[in-house]
Amino acid sequence: MSNSQRLEGKTCIITGGSSGIGAATVRRFVEEGAEVLIADIALEAAEGLARGLGNTVSAIRCDVRLEDDVRRVADTALRRWGHVDVLVNNAGSELNRTYDQTTVEEWDRVLDTDLKGPWLFCKHVVPHMVKAGRGSVINISSLNGLVGFPLSTAYGSAKGGLVVFTKDLAIELAPSGVRVNCVCPGVIATPMMERWTDLMPDKGEAQKMLRGVMPIGRMGTAEEVAGAIFFFASDDSALCQGAVLSVDGGFVAQ
């Protein structure tokens, strides 16, 4: 556990913070002294996490696909704090299906959650950062946003779009004092990955295959990804603008 408190006094919104990488990021930010608002569609789980971490963490229900929900989260944070220092766009929706078997409803769910959601949060939070002359936006994409995989046309399109959205917004905001960067996790042991292996005929073989994807020979942990997200939230990343950080055990280095 860190004792550095390097986010002391920072106010942070983390979407999809009730489990997996989001929950690990909430915990890391709290350890570093931040105040955190978890925005999650799974409100009960988010509130449970918040209760266990103390009075610097709270939760609010949010479907990131809905502009009214996103606006309500932004308004809540600004009324409470007056300013948001860090926005982590982590909420995501996965899909493992061939391109021709994907329904319009499934495509829209994934694209709206994984790409439109971050845009909506930036739309309603970033202008206040610009006005203050400071802030850090961290978009959580994926290895699927950098390279292609089968059964991933919807998810890969959304996550690839998020990488380019990060770069475009970073250039647009470069003179403003607001930083925009992106983290691309590889194969990480999270509930999302557990759901994927549950769909496979042989779960053990699927897990073995996933471990083999990572050159280091194992899946990553949510806490390791949270460390990369923390870097972009901290002042150590002051010169990073539009950076895309692969946290993938060496996969894209091959």
> Catalytic annotation on 99?
no
Q: Do residues 114 and 162 make contact, with C-beta atoms less than 8 angstroms apart? A: yes
Q: For the chain, what's the residue count? A: 254
Query: What is the residue whose two structure tokens read 């391109």?
Result: 99
Catalytic residue among 155, 165, 196, 230: 155
| Angle at 12 (CA atoms; ends 178, 173), nearest 5 degrees | 15
Residues known to be catalytic: 155
